[in-house]
Amino acid sequence: MMRAKKELKPHQSSFLLLLTVFLVTVGIIFFYLYPTWQKIQDWQKETRANNQTLQNEIQPKLNLLRSLDEAKLDQAIQALEEALPSYPYEALVMQELEELAAESSVELGALKATANEAANIVTTPLLIKGDKEEIITFIKNLERAKRVLSLEDLTLAREEDRFVLQAKVVAPYQPVPQNLGDLTSKLQALDARDQEVLAQVARLNSYVSTESAASPTPLPSTGRDNPFRP
């Protein structure tokens, strides 16, 4: 009686065997196959991302940097620093205006350059006196100054036989970038449009004389009627 209770019946042992196999299968799936599959997916994803970073960012950037000519870069920086310095250099703005005034033969009033660090500009009120040819020459030369300058709030007034020009001179500057960004941040080579700007910068500092500036240029008629003529 006792023996019959202990011994498993044949169909029960088969059932237990199949149950064990099922549990082992489930265990293997949950504890090995599925985590491994997930790990593989992650590695594959990471490998794809790394490949993409390498091919699209790191290698092109490295190739670009290797192809750069250090001497040419320094030359370009020097030219650009003169046109657009990294610091305000207020004194240089005044010096530049004095040179321009001398070159254009105009009488220059007092200058007081002030840096506006929020806007990255140096401004100075300008007062010059001269005849019309000299004033025109000064304006032309101001646009050709080796440091880029621009005029604002311009007023031209007659004072006896001369003209007085009052304006605000704006000299921009651009500070050096504080950080380079991360390794994968995009970097573009100098293209044709950039070279054009560099060529334009190289053409600065070529002043015109009063004689050549005053030569009138014939203007084509616009064909518009005078609204005040009946």
Partner 1 sequence: MEFQGINLLPQLLQEQEWELRARRRAAGGALLWLILLALLCGGMFYWQEQVYRQWRKTDSLLREQSQLLNQSSQRIREGKLRLIKNKITFLRQHFQRPNIYTPFFTSFFNQVPSGVEILSLREGQKPDLFELAALGDDLEQVESLIDNLAQWELVEKVTLQSLNYRLDRGEISFELLIKKTPLPSSEVTKENNDEGEKGT
How far apart are alpha carbons 98 and 78 in whole angstroms?
A: 22
- Tokens at residue 2, please? 């006792």
Determine if 146 is a binding residue for partner 1 (CB under 8 A).
no
Determine if 121 is a binding residue for partner 1 (CB under 8 A).
no
User: Judged by CB under 8 A, which of 24, 91, 102, 119 binds partner 1?
Assistant: 24
User: Judged by CB under 8 A, which of 56, 114, 116, 212 binds partner 1?
Assistant: 212
- Tokens at residue 145, please? 């100054």
Least CB distance from residue 204 to partner 1, whole Å?
8
The partner residues of 172 in beta bridges, in order of sequence, read 121
Contact set for partner 1, span 189-208 (CB under 8 A): 189-190, 193-194, 197-198, 200-201, 203-204, 206-208
Contact set for partner 1, span 57-76 (CB under 8 A): 58-59, 61-62, 65-66, 68, 70, 73-74, 76
Q: How many CA atoms lie within 13 A of 5 on its CB side?
A: 2
Please work out, in degrees rounded to the nearest 5, the angle formed at the alpha carbon of residue 18 by the alpha carbons of 12 and 24: 135
User: Judged by CB under 8 A, which of 37, 87, 98, 119 binds partner 1?
Assistant: 37
| Window contacting partner 1 (CB under 8 A); options: 93-101, 109-117, 122-130, 215-223 | 215-223
Q: Is 156 left (phi over 0), alpha (psi -120 to 50) or beta?
A: beta
